[in-house]
Chains A and B, each alone.
Chain A
Amino acid sequence: MAYMSMGEAHRRITDYLNRFSDAVSSQDVASLKQLLSFSSNSPSLLSLADSLNVFQDANRLIKQSDNYSPFADITVPLFRSLQHYRTGNLVDAYLAFEKSANAFIQEFRNWESAWALEALYVIAYEIRVLAERADRELASNGKSPEKLKAAGSFLMKVFGVLALGTVHLCRSVIRSIETARIFDFEEFPKRDKVTYMYYTGRLEVFNENFPAADQKLSYALINCNPRSEANIRMILKYLIPVKLSIGILPKDWLLEKYNLVEYSNIVQALRRGDLRLLRHALEEHEDQFLRSGVYLVLEKLELQVYQRLFKKIYIIQKQKDPSKAHQMKLDVIVKALKWLEMDMDVDEVECIVAILIHKNLVKGYFAHKSKVVVLSKQDPFPKLNGKPVNS
């Protein structure tokens, strides 16, 4: 360690304290985050630790200045923690950090808005890392490792502050995790990653962000322990509706193996273009789908079922008379629907045709006078190609 003068040490300490109070008064969470992230081992924090060892009277400095004393409850134990951290006393580092973190939560609650959310997240992360290392130290000294449990109850306090009862706030928490880059996601144990992706993937389903839901739930599925069937089932319960929405159907054996037979009829309906079956399936399992939150997603599959039905009619017509196949009379569609016991008047069928064309599920146009759908000769029923039906 290079020699540091008293003056230099004093300067570094006041520098840190100034940055802390500036960050708070200007609500600058980016700067605040950096001041708290011990495990980053940033040179500035390391040299701060050294400074604290040289200039030993930081506490008095904090308490005597009007600029620094409001945050004394946070900074005094924080400094102590940093010193312990630097000298490798992880248990003491943890205890002091926990004290500082508790004081931070108190302040957080008093601040006007959740501007410091990301900083709170850094603290949550740091406390956990410190707790784990403290426990290792305890275990190696033959004592019982209980700091992680203590950190757990602190984290519950954090969650109590954060979980303000509306999931949409959860979204901002999640966004701040995902964009903050305060840790490398890959470093977490696989089990935690799967859990995280499952919960956030589910959230995306509720908010109908299907590409994101697909990505997250698929990750969870791929990385889930292949022997924990219960967990796989939970993931599939949400992944299947997502996949259906982008036009990907599961095989029957998958549904049977994981006991997700409530989806069987829906998959069948999509395969056959059978509207009646879809409506029936939704009715039969309405309660279950509503409680799990996938009902609205499944309801939306109706347009894809219509597309499939039209395609079948087209295929049949093509077999009868290839030259006329691309012209579909509205009457024929109405008849097909009547056969499926769907009571729809001509105006409504016309409307559905128009919507399907508008949303690019059918390529062509509608001739109102002759009541004929004229299909494009090329690819009249475009596949979804992994994208949800556009609005």
Chain B
Amino acid sequence: MERRHHSQSHSQRQQGRNHFSSSSSNQSRSNNRFSFPKSSSSSSSANDVRDRRRETQEEKQEEAIVGTCPFMCPEAERLQRQRLRDLAVFERLHGDPRNSSPALAVKKFCRTMSAKEVRASDVRPLPVLEETLNYLLSLLDSTEHPFEVIHDFVFDRTRSVRQDLIMQNIVNDKAINMFEKIVKFHVISHHKLRSSCSSSSISPLHYLNLEQLTKALTSLYNLYEANWSSKPIHEKEAEFRSFYVLLHLDSNGQPVGESLSLWFRHVPSPIIKSKEMWFARQALRYFQMGNYRRFLSTVAAEASYLQYCIIEPYIDEVRSLALCCIHNCYYKLHPYPLGHLSKVLMMEESDVELFCNAYGLQTCIDELGNKLLPTKQTTFCRPKGGLQNYSFLGFQQLGRQIEL
């Protein structure tokens, strides 16, 4: 089993070159996370991975472009899109679909086959990218347009910002800062898009957003690791790392990327011990065990706003499990008080009744006027459509945490 030892570094260095001429957003995947186990100590493998990544970073620097475009959108593209009337609402000068300006036009995302095809004049340097991103994020406050429209625009244009960053191989602190903001945007969209779609099938916008969330997050992790030697821990790294855990609570779902067990192997120790990661691990533990009581109460007490946004879909799942357990495992002759159910589910009592109804369950009232849920009803069934959005007790505190 020791044979494969030496071949490691060769194949690792291969990863530095982009084997597949696909869009740059795939580049983050070309960083090798697969390491052969050595029979030596465990901590050395994490260091080796970092060393090898730095090697490939240096190789990439030689190939990287240096952008010179001074505007949020390259002039040639803006003029062309003006001609073709391909301007988003936010880009139109006084609402005119044929006219834009350097202050409004933002470079669109476009898949490039390889970095060789791209001109430096089409790529924006770091200061311009920072301004562009700040401008895009400021649009999120707008009340003039429905959220989906704003999201769609910011989604696409931030994707282009990411692409420009990666193409130029900008991997410093500022890049980290920008990726953190972009991930945050995707996380909040993950929450907002969910509340706006009522059907049980996830809307395409929501799904695509999740896809980019994951990609941007992976790039961000690579950036943290690339900067490891100059600055081991970043202020928000713990929280952003915790997102990966929260995105993978359900191990039975199709794993996207690495399984958690593998992923944890190369998370630095200080991150594992952070309070944000501790929360995520507790959430994971309770979720996998089915401990709905602790899961819901811990989320209410300890989740940050962003963590809540990610974990939200699982809240419904856990409540569903709770209802299943109570309904199937409790004594038929002792109906369950709704007041208590409200505490268990962390839901307003009025919503609890609707929740039960969605599962085909009827409630009743006792002589004192208390609402009860009789268990072991034969009409119990999974809701056909999606669930509506229910209150979450404890959400009010989270609302105060939003800083944009």
What residues of chain A have their CB less than 8 Å away from a CB belonging to chain B? Answer: 109-110, 156-157, 159-161, 163-168, 170, 195, 198, 202, 205-208, 230-231, 234, 286-288, 290-297, 299-300, 302-303, 347-348, 350-355, 357-359, 365-370, 374, 391
Contact A300 B289 (CB under 8 A): yes
Contact A164 B331 (CB under 8 A): no
User: With A and B bound together, what is the CA distance between A207 and B258 in angstroms?
Assistant: 9
Contacts of B256 in A (CB 8 A): 168
Q: Which residue of A lies closest to B19 (CB)?
A: A109
User: With A and B bound together, what is the CA distance between A350 and B29 in angstroms?
Assistant: 45
User: With A and B bound together, what is the CA distance between A295 and B42 in angstroms?
Assistant: 14
Contacts of A353 in B (CB 8 A): 329
User: With A and B bound together, what is the CA distance between A202 and B260 in angstroms?
Assistant: 14
What residues of chain B have their CB less than 8 Å away from a CB belonging to chain A? Answer: 1, 3, 7, 10-11, 14-15, 19-21, 29-34, 37, 39, 42-43, 45-46, 251-252, 255-262, 264-265, 267, 269, 272, 284-285, 288-294, 321-322, 324-326, 328-331, 333-334, 336, 343-344
Contact A367 B331 (CB under 8 A): yes
Contact of A167 with B293 at beta-carbon distance under 8 Å, contacts A206-B262, A391-B252 already known = no
Q: Which residue of B lies closest to A230 (CB)?
A: B39
Contact of A351 with B30 at beta-carbon distance under 8 Å, contacts A167-B262, A293-B261, A357-B325 already known = no
Q: Which residue of B lies closest to A110 (CB)?
A: B21
Contact A366 B331 (CB under 8 A): yes
Contact of A351 with B255 at beta-carbon distance under 8 Å, contacts A167-B33, A357-B329 already known = no
Q: Can you list 27 A-B contacts (CB < 8 A)?
A: A160-B15, A164-B32, A165-B34, A166-B34, A206-B261, A206-B262, A207-B251, A234-B39, A290-B267, A290-B272, A291-B45, A293-B261, A295-B264, A296-B264, A300-B289, A347-B343, A353-B329, A354-B325, A355-B292, A357-B325, A357-B328, A358-B290, A359-B290, A365-B330, A366-B330, A369-B334, A391-B290
Q: Is the interface of A mostly helix, strand, loop or mixed?
A: helix
Contacts of A302 in B (CB 8 A): 285, 289
Contacts of B344 in A (CB 8 A): 347, 351
Q: Top 8 A-B pairs ranked by shortest CB distance?
A: A291-B42, A160-B14, A351-B293, A165-B32, A367-B331, A354-B325, A357-B329, A293-B261
Q: A367's contact among B29, B294, B334, by CB below 8 Å, is which?
A: B334
B39, B260, B262, B328 pick with most chain A CB within 10 angstroms: B262
* B225: min CB distance to chain A, Å: 13
Q: Which residue of A lies closest to B260 (CB)?
A: A296
User: With A and B bound together, what is the CA distance between A257 and B19 in angstroms?
Assistant: 46
* A298: min CB distance to chain B, Å: 11
Contact B272 A300 (CB under 8 A): no
Contacts of A234 in B (CB 8 A): 1, 39
Contacts of A291 in B (CB 8 A): 42-43, 45-46, 265
